[in-house]
Structure 1
Amino acid sequence: MKAVIQMRREDPRRESRHFAHRDGEIEPVGSDSVPGVVTDLSRSGFRIVVDEPLAPEAVVWLKVGGQGPFMARVVWYDGTAAGCEFAGRLHPNIVAGLLEG
């Protein structure tokens, strides 16, 4: 019997993520708004579940609960959700406002 050792990979994110379940919309540059649900949020980025495909490296604008738009770029898209990085880190009070609704 062979032993299998799995190494824990450190989470490379720069900021703590906060669980969220907020309706919002994302607007790719040059396209119409796409509704989605923000499922996690940090000062440096967010994850959003959307029905429309998003191209990695695309520039998008996020609006949540009447706040925004916040500029970001798509880092990854897996067919259901996208991970996006804000153009600049958000102030902690903005993050708190987005989470509280």
Structure 2
Amino acid sequence: MSEPETIVERSAERQPVTLVARLRQSGAKPIEVEVHDLSTHGFQVDTVHIIRPGQIVWLQFGPLAPLEAQVRWFRNYRIGCAFSQPLHPAVLDSIVAQARR
């Protein structure tokens, strides 16, 4: 008997972006990262640092306040994170607009 397939649904539509932000782990200095696939509920970043699933991080775009998130997965120097509090859609739209300039 085979295992049932698990279907993972995204909680929000991802916006394909490529932009630079700062990511900080607890007790560490911020590092520059490249952000991809931003949504109101999370994001992906490229980093050469190993950041383990379950860790809390803070992502900061320019002068905006840092956003708390939890690392969900790490694979091939890319991490996927879920925001602790979803972004307001207007904030997401503003960040995406900045990335496309």
With the length of structure 2 as denominator, give the TM-score of the two structures: 0.85
Percent same amino acid at aligned positions? 26
Which residue identity is paired with 1:29?
S
Instruction: Tell me what 1:25 maps to.
Output: 22
5+ long unaligned stretches in structure 1: 1-8
Instruction: Tell me what 2:35 maps to.
Output: 38
Instruction: Tell me what 2:81 maps to.
Output: 84
1:6-48 per-position Cα deviation (integer Å, ceiling 9, x unaligned):
xxx8551110000011101110111111111001100000001
Instruction: Tell me what 1:3 maps to.
Output: none
Which range is displaced more, 63-72 or 88-97?
63-72
Question: Secondary structure in 2 aligned to 1:88?
Answer: coil
Instruction: Tell me what 2:59 maps to.
Output: 62
Question: Secondary structure in 2 aligned to 1:68?
Answer: coil
* 1:96 corresponds to 2:93: yes
Deviation at 1:65, TM superposition (A): 2.8
